[in-house]
């Protein structure tokens, strides 16, 4: 293949252009690096040598020497917050905001970012009132959604459910009912507080608001039944809304019967939550003198919707009413349908009561061994973050999600097909 003469002339020219471009880039890099404080490179060296504390001090010195290093301030503040040094993170971000107030050196985007970071610092430090003030300042800005989410978290931490409802109703997606579950739970929190303090009218109002927001809110149904049970126990609704006699002159329905009817409706709402109402229902049946009917109802639930917690309630009721032999048969039959260690633990409990005294020691030894292991699997687990707890929570203590704890023990999921 022949090479034309003009190619030979062009090659040195291209080489020269490349050399000149490289020289220009090198000069620019050297010029920019000389403009940075020496402490900046010292800090980088400490980071590379895994000495974060000394690196932070060096970066602080660089920020002090060159106040223009705004991004370095943000990086330092975030680093302090991740390390749990919220007081130092607060100082860094406040320094940026205060300096901007006097010199106006930040762009609008940087100023809002500095405020948002300061709010996160306060939130991480537990200074909720200060964090609230900061995020309220961000309302109506390009960071409005971020402000709303953080304000919602603050009001949940403070248990200020009225404000939480107001904020949730302004969240993006509220019109599409994306927040109906949370808003219903906030109303339930208010209803639970009202029930505890005997404010029955207010409790009824919040329960109705929860169900109007989310018809499938099982917690509202549970609270609605509890309200009727409290009225049956001698509680009185506020004087401005007394329970009225019917138009035909008949007395109003028994509140305890109402409570049972309401709780039984959970099977249509979400049957896996029946275990949360089971003990309340059995108590109501005992008070009405219909414990046998209650056991039959619970056994029907257990057959249709197997649950370890439901099994425990039925077992205790059967043991109390009919004795250990009937309780033993109940658990034995349930174990055949759904073999679990927690069920086996109940079986040994019944066997110990039935066994002669000389055999009880051996059975108790086996039961204690099983019980020790079952304590590790008898937990509820959050679907969102995997956090495990010994008791049921409507809101996960770890991730803050609502209704993320299915009312089933971890063993039930582990044994599911």
Domain CATH code at residue 37: 1.25.40.10
pLDDT at 379: 86
- 319: which residues sit within 8 A by CB, 6+ positions away? 326, 327, 350, 353
In a domain, 8, yes or no: no
**What CATH number has the domain bearing residue 212?**
1.25.40
* DSSP three-state, residue 243: coil
Beta-carbon neighbour count of residue 361 at 10 Å?
10
Residues 169 and 154 reside in one and the same domain: no
Q: Which of 240, 265, 290 is the last residue of a domain?
A: 265
Residues 41 and 145 reside in one and the same domain: yes
Range of the domain at 344: 273-374
Residues 290 and 336 reside in one and the same domain: yes
Residues 186 and 152 reside in one and the same domain: no
Residues 347 and 286 reside in one and the same domain: yes
For residues 314 and 310, give the distance between their C-alpha atoms in angstroms, rounded to a whole number: 6
Q: What is the pLDDT of residues 234-250, one digit of tens each?
A: 766 543 444 544 444 45
Residues 81 and 27 reside in one and the same domain: yes
Residue length, the chain?
417
For residues 12 and 16, give the distance between their C-alpha atoms in angstroms, rounded to a whole number: 6
pLDDT at 100: 62
What are the C-alpha distances in Å from 185 to residues 145, 162, 269?
A: 21, 11, 16
| Max Cα distance, the chain (Å) | 118
pLDDT at 52: 58
Number of domains in the chain: 4
State which residues of the chain have pLDDT below 70: 1-69, 99-105, 174-177, 235-252, 411-417
pLDDT at 44: 55
pLDDT at 165: 96
Residues 185 and 284 reside in one and the same domain: no
Residues 225 and 318 reside in one and the same domain: no
Residues 26 and 139 reside in one and the same domain: yes
On whether the CB atoms of residues 119 and 131 are closer than 8 A, the answer is yes
pLDDT at 356: 86
Ramachandran region, residue 50 (left: φ > 0; alpha: ψ -120 to 50; beta: rest): left
Residues 176 and 215 reside in one and the same domain: yes
For residues 349 and 363, give the distance between their C-alpha atoms in angstroms, rounded to a whole number: 9
In a domain, 236, yes or no: no
For residues 90 and 84, give the distance between their C-alpha atoms in angstroms, rounded to a whole number: 11
In a domain, 316, yes or no: yes
Residues 217 and 317 reside in one and the same domain: no
What are phi and psi for residue 240, nearest 5 degrees?
-80, -5
Q: What is the pLDDT of residues 99-146, one digit of tens each?
A: 666 666 678 888 899 999 999 999 999 999 999 999 999 999 999 999
pLDDT at 305: 92
Which residue pairs from 2-9 have beta carbons closer than 8 angstroms and sit at least 24 positions apart in sequence?
A: none
Question: Half-sphere exposure (CA, 13 Å, Cβ side) for 305?
Answer: 18
pLDDT at 355: 86
Q: pTM of the predicted model, to two decimals?
A: 0.78
pLDDT at 224: 97
For residues 67 and 63, give the distance between their C-alpha atoms in angstroms, rounded to a whole number: 6
In a domain, 241, yes or no: no
Residues 43 and 151 reside in one and the same domain: yes
Q: Which of 160, 178, 198 is the last residue of a domain?
A: 160
Which residue pairs from 297-304 have beta carbons closer than 8 angstroms and sit at least 24 positions apart in sequence?
A: 297/264, 299/330, 301/267, 301/271, 301/274, 302/334, 304/271
């Amino acid at each position: 293949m022949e090479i034309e003469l003009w190619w030979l002339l062009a090659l040195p020219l291209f080489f020269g252009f490349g050399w000149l471009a490289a020289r220009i880039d090198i000069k620019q890099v050297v010029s920019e690096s000389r403009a940075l404080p020496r402490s900046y490179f010292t800090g980088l060296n400490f980071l590379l040598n895994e000495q974060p504390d000394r690196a932070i001090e060096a970066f602080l010195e660089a920020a002090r020497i060159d106040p223009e290093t705004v991004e370095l301030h943000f990086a330092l503040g975030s680093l302090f917050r991740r390390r749990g040094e919220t007081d130092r993170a607060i100082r860094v971000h406040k320094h940026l905001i205060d300096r901007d107030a006097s010199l106006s050196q930040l762009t609008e985007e940087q100023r809002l970012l500095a405020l948002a970071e300061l709010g996160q610092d306060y939130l991480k430090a537990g200074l909720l009132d200060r964090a609230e003030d900061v995020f309220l300042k961000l309302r109506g800005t390009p960071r409005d959604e971020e402000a709303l989410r953080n304000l919602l978290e603050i009001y949940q931490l403070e248990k200020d459910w009225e404000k939480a409802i107001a904020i949730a109703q302004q969240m993006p997606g509220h019109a599409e009912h994306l927040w109906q579950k949370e808003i219903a739970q906030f109303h339930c929190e208010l209803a639970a507080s009202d029930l505890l303090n005997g404010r029955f009218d207010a409790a009824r109002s919040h329960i109705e608001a929860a169900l109007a927001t989310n018809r499938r809110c099982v917690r509202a149904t549970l609270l609605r039944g509890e309200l009727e049970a409290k009225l049956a126990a001698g509680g009185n609704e506020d004087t401005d809304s007394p329970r009225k006699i019917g138009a035909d002159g008949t007395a109003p329905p028994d509140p305890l019967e109402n409570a049972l009817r309401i709780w039984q409706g959970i099977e249509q709402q979400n049957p896996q939550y029946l275990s949360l109402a089971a003990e309340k229902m059995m108590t109501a049946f005992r008070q009405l003198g219909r414990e046998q009917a209650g056991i039959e109802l619970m056994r029907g639930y257990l057959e249709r919707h197997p649950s370890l917690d439901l099994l425990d309630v039925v077992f205790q009721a059967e043991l109390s009413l009919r004795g250990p032999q009937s309780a033993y048969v109940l658990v034995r039959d349930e174990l055949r349908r759904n073999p679990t260690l927690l069920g086996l633990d109940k079986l040994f409990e019944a066997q110990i009561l039935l066994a002669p005294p000389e055999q009880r020691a051996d059975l108790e030894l086996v039961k204690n061994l099983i019980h020790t292991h079952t304590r590790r699997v008898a937990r509820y687990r959050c679907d969102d973050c995997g956090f495990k707890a010994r008791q049921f929570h409507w809101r996960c203590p770890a991730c803050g999600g609502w209704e993320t704890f299915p009312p089933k023990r971890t063993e039930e999921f582990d044994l599911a097909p």
